[in-house]
Structure 1
Amino acid sequence: MDERMLRRRVYGADHEDPDPGPRPGRVYGELVGGPLDGLLLDITGWSGSRLAEEVRLPTEIGRYGPGGRTHYRRRSGGGTERWDWTGDSP
């Protein structure tokens, strides 16, 4: 894991966690764009078909506020490293 990723926060980590960064032995994708830009998504153990699906992540900071979801899809040709924002839903 490179130095840049080690300083990032993982999606879903508690805001009060003193170490919200990535853990050794885990695999992460970087969320790009949208309300979760720059966070890491733990994709450890995901199957090829799961990696090909769009993820819908609950967030309070998206277009629809509390109860809303923001959507990300793995960048084509980019391996698992980058996940691009595709929009928000209620």
Structure 2
Amino acid sequence: MHEGDEQLLRGRIYGHDHDDPDPGPRSGRTYAELVGGPLDGLLLDIHGWRTVEVDDGVTLIIELGRWPGGRALYDPRPGEARKPGPGIACRLYYSGDTP
């Protein structure tokens, strides 16, 4: 990934259009910060997700990774604390990718 691509992604919500006039977090929503890999720095909207859904990790479609149109895998670290309520509640860490 090029440096310009990384800058474009920072502070944005996964799944929002790159030309969204307000790509940042929304008030009252809950997010997981994506750490490492092709989606590093993006936020994933997990508002309304059950704890077990976050604990299972996520598989997200990517266009900037090793396989365009493939999937990036992000998982929580066992025992890492979560913050309840709106805002950034947890981090999910890159664990690999798949076509």
Normalised by the length of structure 2, the TM-score is 0.78
Question: In the TM superposition, what whole-angstrom CA distance separates every residue of 1:39-90 from its partner, at most 9, and x where no partner exists?
Answer: 001010111210111200001111111x201010122222242110000001
Where relative contact order (Cα < 8 A, 6+ residues apart) is larger, the structure is 2
Higher helix share: 2
Amino acid aligned to 2:90: E
In the alignment, which of 34, 50, 74 is matched to residue 72 of structure 1?
A: 74
Alignment-derived partner of residue 15 in structure 1: 18
- Counterpart of 2:93 in structure 1: which amino acid? D
Q: Residues of 2 paired with 1:82 and 1:54: CA distance?
A: 10
Structure 1 unmatched ranges of 5 or more: 1-6
Distance 1:59 1:29 in 2: 17
Shift of 1:34: 0.1
SS of 1:35 mapped into structure 2: helix
The DSSP-based 3-state class of the residue aligned with 2:93 is: strand
* Structure 1 segment 20-39 matched on structure 2, within 5 A: 20-39=23-42
* 1:81 equivalent in alignment to 2:81: no
Give the share of equivalent positions with the same residue, in percent: 57
Output the CA distance in 2 between the equivalents of 1:60 and 1:29.
20
1:89 and 1:23 mapped to 2: Cα distance?
30
> Do the aligned residues in 1 keep the contact of 2:57 with 2:92 (CA within 8 Å)?
no
Question: Number of paired residues?
Answer: 83
